[in-house]
Chains A and B, each alone.
Chain A
Amino acid sequence: MAAKILAGVDIGNSSTEVAIASVEGDHAHFLSQHLVRTTGIKGTTDNVKGIRLALQEAAKKAAIELKDIDLIRLNDAVPVIGDLAMDLISETIITESSMIGHNPDTPGGAGLGVGTTVLIDQLLDVEEKERGYIAVIPKPFDYEWVAHRLNQAESDGISVTGAIVQKDDGVLIHNRLNKKIPIVDEVSLIEKVPLLKLAAIEVALPGHVIRTLSNPYGLSTVFQLDPDQTIQIALVAKALVGNRSAVVIRTPQGEVVERKIEAGRVILIGSKNQQLEVSINDGAEAIMNMYEKLEELVDVQGETGTNVGGMFNGLRHDLAELTGQALNEIKISDFLAVDAVIPTSISGSMAGELSMESGVALASMVKTDKVPVQRVARLLEKEVGIAVEIGGVEAEMAILGALTTPGTRKPIVIIDMGGGSTDAAMMNEAGKIISSHLAGAGDMVTMLINSELALGDKELAEKIKKYPLGKVLSIFHMQLEDGTILFSEAPFPPDTFGKVVIREEKDLTPLSNKASMEKIREIRRSAKRRVFVTNALRALKRVVPTGNLKRLSFVVMVGGSALDFEIPQMLTEELGKYGIVAGFANIRGTEGPRNAVATGLVLSSVRQEVLK
């Protein structure tokens, strides 16, 4: 029997993969493989362009002509589409400006000062000289003159205990003073500072944080508060924790409130008219726990007129647009809720203070009508002039491919971690396959990183997700994430000098964010853990008949996110607790976690021939 040349083509959300094999009887010999970016949305005829390119490249690698291929097998794409949303559930509001707690790079001096706020040009006219004053210095005043004024006030016997400055002049003024006082600078909205009110100012030494004003009892001592007032002011203290400098001004009505936004309730609708409700304010864990109580999810709704209602409506709208289905036909078949921290500027603040508010991120997914792969197949057939057939279900193909990993056998579970969804499939000894599709994967991690680092740049967040970090210490030295120092032969580019950089394969991308390398790393890792570890466990419970993870032995990770430099290790560690052998696949012993479906497509046709 003559050898046939077969090509397996896997169209994914982000990449299109091809495997070419020569098949003789029931034996397949793989010749080459190639990967390109998917052109257009998965399952549309735009894909053909990418497939052609991939086939040509793979054929070139195998040293054959494109027309030598006898049969192309396409995967039957899973008809699920996912989307993401995120919103706040708490908010801090300053009702009347009464506090400035911010971290200018360079405040002046150090220590604590208590006094009455007074404008700098009225300082010399005050009547009670010994009372203690805090000078308020708006932009038009030059530091040299201010320092001169403050020195004059001191020699006149006026006690000045601190200064609040609008410009970045703190150190300049401080250097020119005869009697040193704490100075907070870069207070952008200084005109909001109430005058002739009792205020306290505190600046800590570099590397330290303020201690008195961030302590409720420190504040009660400074302002002589009674217990009830102390309770009220505790939130001010809380908001100032971790700052290097702060000002608190006592105004009669001023207060800081942490308001819980009525974020609304999630309504989970199950089969048999089962309906469960859970408030978003309870956090992601409570929501996911409630979800587990449900046998089977039919749809999810958000309470109308609330944040969560808006989120689910937005998701529905996006998904309807993507799938071309009517809005009311969209049923959410799975969702994942994850706690998120969202830096938000405090309304009513004077120096652009940020507060870390809590929020919830949601990934959800809908089943759509069958994705028209047939159309893609027909067009491809016409364009390349080679017979095209549609192979089996994606999950089955992926398992067949994954089984080529050395050291695996049935029963086996695969976790396919992509960009839009996490899919799991289990094959038992008899070859029967159960599969499950879950919302939330790589794109959700990107969204979390983007918002928690306040990047506002998806591409950059994507890079942070994909590559390890480093900090360029000098033109030849870089500190890596684990603390080791790398000495470079060639000098680093000047724009990376002193910065935290993303270490891509060839380039270094400097981050303009002020966050330290450790902080960024922690956020990156926690985002991955929150999405992938949660989803892997969820996925496994779905496909294992008894839901008991201890009965599993082999778990193989495939897909783009299995290529990540730390996600597979996180899962190996987590699943190791259940005694499961988990790791990323090595398709055909050479390809790593890539090319599973394309390989499976070729192998499945071999088995068919055997069966014939």
Chain B
Amino acid sequence: MSRRRRVRPIHEEEGRPLLSVENLKTYFQTAHGVVKSVDGVSFELERGKTLAVVGESGSGKTVLARSVMGLLPSQNVWREGSVRLGDVDLTRASAAELRQLWGAQVSMVFQDPVTSLNPVVRIGRQITEHLQYHLGMPRGEARRTALSLLRSVGIPEPAARMRWFPHQLSGGMCQRVVIAAAIACGPKLLLADEPTTGLDVTVSAQILDLLGRLQEERYMSVVLVTHDLGVVSGRADEVIVMYAGQVVEQAPTPVIFSDMKMPYTEALMRSVPRLTNPSHTRLPAIPGTPPNPAALPAGCRFAARCPYVQPRCREEPPPLRQAGPRHRFACWYPVGSPEGQQALEANRAAGLPAAAAVV
């Protein structure tokens, strides 16, 4: 069998990040109007680093991950901006080029491991098929590679499991198989879209540890999409906080925990349970719901739920401002600043419910 490789090579440029996303917009045409799921997102990610994308459900983080990859529906989608992976612009790549990048240079791990595996295809086949396709491996070699992949993601008795079907495995095991399939061809970039949502806490921690270990071993860049700030610390180098399709704050992980500027980040942080809290502490939720993505407000999109909100916030959208070397945020009355403190106290005095909830 010919060893034809079907992989689009990527050349990394000296001194430039592996992935750079610039002003990426992804809109969906729906019956209710245009939904701006991703609305002008920019970020960079270096080889071997992890970027966490954090936000509530509906903040656009899943669409962001799919849009970066280009894995969008074929109809009623509008995408603008650029996604550069090394020297390739993914937004300009043809369908044939994308096929040689997907699975080979950039991979994705999905939210629900049980439904992302084909129920009628054996596990081994789901890992070997793209090894054979992209790397032109003969069957036997692909099998041996799949076997060692399954071993490296921690599947016991991999030789027997190769012949199993997905329904015979637990959710955590399925996610390990999905991860093995995702990393099989040695991608440079791995997009993990809430990889632990459906799993219980201990399994979830194991999966995240596994991802971290594989990333180090294989020197991959990882975009970790999650709604849980708790999983971010210690696992991500940098954090992007998304709200209603936009980046509202971006900072290195330690900075976001110690010096957050955006009231939304603060609110997310408060809703993470802490070991130092006395037991039975009420966990504050963020009041209200994200704005309707088909009818976004004129000013700051978080204004309606923000404890710091001032008249200006409702009229003028705050731009992303630089707060430190790698720290950006979008807020007129940032947390910890004198203006912010003043705004919060004024709102508390006026009896604004969102402000009253902040202790």
The answer on A and B forming one complex is no
B residues apposed to A, CB below 8 Å:
none
A residues apposed to B, CB below 8 Å:
none
